[in-house]
Copies of this chain bind each other. A is one copy, B any other.
């Protein structure tokens, strides 16, 4: 008989992870034990594993922060959650500090980032506080033709661009430009469309552009063959043709690369909003004064406040954001192989690992 609780542990950057038993019990009053249905593999995980980016807690550690599952056991104060299907908030604010109480949960200094501050979701189970749970209506899930593992990626790949779009104030009649339409950017484009915007997608990978053209991008531009100045001309002509404004474009940078950030910065027009969604350690060289000359703004967001997870999930369950065609599932036991496959760009869709 296998041990009922296990997780995959990273002991050293680049070294194969190994499956180890652990004992999550007992639970505190407000804690639940989630039996993991699926855990998405994010580029943050690859950064820890391949690039030696430091986890907040010292190794050994279990990675993974895009988690869905069922509540299998619950502390006395959280018993209402027993048996429920849930998505777990990727970075869990304390809920109690001055920042949390002022509605600034994403910058809570005591937040717990799963798979970095504590052991994450590449495991059979994970113990989390009940306040980190977003309920999933399993009937709605079934009606949408989705499985519980598939919606694990809502926890970051969908909620992070959701918050970027939401806090930008994007709405009907606006023009949104999404720079980089892999993983997160593909959802960003769909979310922008769901908010009523006309969407321009830019990428260096034609396959990704072809894909997103079928899911809400109204114009696609290959940055490999079209330079920034020419992109702006194309978008201006497109905006004119569609009767959209030549001002106030919303630009969402999702590539998380220096080149992508510099390209996105240059696409701003008067009154633009630039959303920085993708992450890179690299600096970018940009004319910051353009923010002044254009009366523009650049906004970042660290994930998404827990209370907005339900809104992001609704976009998925209502079919406004297609998720199914952008993910693929693999057995968690193949984690080492899958990490390498993603790193080697052998996968075109976001991988979700199933215990």
Structural contact, B298 and A288, CB atoms closer than 8 A: yes
- Inter-chain CA distance A297–B281, complex, in Å, is 18
> Which chain B residue has the least Cβ–Cβ distance from A296?
B300
Question: What CA separation (Å) do A245 and B296 show in the bound complex?
Answer: 27
Among residues of B, the one whose C-beta sits closest to the C-beta of A299 is: B297
CB pair B300 A293 closer than 8 Å: yes
Which of chain B's residues has its CB closest to A292's CB?
B300
A276 touches B295 (CB 8 A): no
Task: Please pick, from B248, B283, B286, B294, the residue contacting A300 in the complex, using a CB distance under 8 A.
Answer: B294
> Is the pair B289, A279 in contact by a Cβ cutoff of 8 Å?
yes
Q: Given A104-B271, A293-B302, A297-B299, A281–B287 Cβ distance below 8 Å?
A: yes
Contact of A286 among B98, B271, B284, B302 (CB under 8 A): B284
A contacts with B, residue count (CB < 8 A):
43
| Chain B positions within 8 Å of A109 at CB level | 246-247, 270
Q: With A281-B287, A284-B288 as given contacts, are A294 and B107 in contact (CB-CB < 8 Å)?
A: yes
Shortest CB–CB separation between residue A266 and chain B, in angstroms?
A: 11
Q: Contact flags (1/0) for A257-296 with B, using CB distance below 8 Å?
A: 0000100010000110000111111111111111111111
Chain B hits for A283, CB < 8 A: 285-288
Closest to A291 in B: B300
| Chain B residues near A107 (CB-CB < 8 A) | 247-248, 270-271, 294-295
Q: Which residues of B contact A301 (CB under 8 A)?
A: 292, 295
Can you tell how many copies of this chain the complex includes?
A: 2
Would you give the shortest CB distance from A227 to chain B, in whole angstroms? 17
CB neighbours (8 Å) of A295 from chain B are 104, 106-107, 300-302
Q: Are A261 and B288 in contact (CB under 8 A)?
A: yes
CB-defined contacts of A281 to chain B, threshold 8 Å = 287, 289
Residues from chain B with a CB closer than 8 A to the CB of A276 are: 288-289, 291-292
A292 CA to B184 CA, complexed, in Å: 14
Please report the C-alpha to C-alpha distance between residue A294 and residue B300 in the assembled complex, in whole angstroms.
7
Given A107-B247, A107-B294, A295-B300, check contact A265 B280 (CB 8 Å).
Answer: no
B298 touches A302 (CB 8 A): no
Give, as a whole number of angstroms, the nearest-CB distance from A91 to chain B.
Answer: 11
State whether the Cβ of A99 lies closer than 8 Å to any Cβ in chain B: yes
Does A228 make an interface contact (CB < 8 A)?
no
Nearest-neighbour CB distance to chain B for A264, whole angstroms, equals: 9
Nearest Cβ distance between residue A170 and chain B, in whole angstroms?
A: 15
How long is the Cα–Cα vector from A248 to B98 in the complex, in angstroms? Answer: 12
Pairs across A and B, CB under 8 Å, 29 listed: A98-B245, A104-B247, A107-B248, A107-B295, A109-B270, A261-B288, A265-B288, A276-B289, A276-B291, A277-B292, A279-B292, A279-B293, A281-B287, A281-B289, A282-B289, A283-B288, A284-B285, A284-B287, A285-B285, A286-B286, A291-B298, A292-B300, A293-B300, A294-B300, A294-B302, A295-B300, A295-B301, A295-B302, A297-B300
Chain A residues packing against B (C-beta within 8 Å)? 98-99, 104, 106-107, 109, 245-248, 253, 256, 261, 265, 270-271, 276-302
Closest 4 CB pairs of A and B: A291-B300, A292-B300, A107-B270, A295-B302
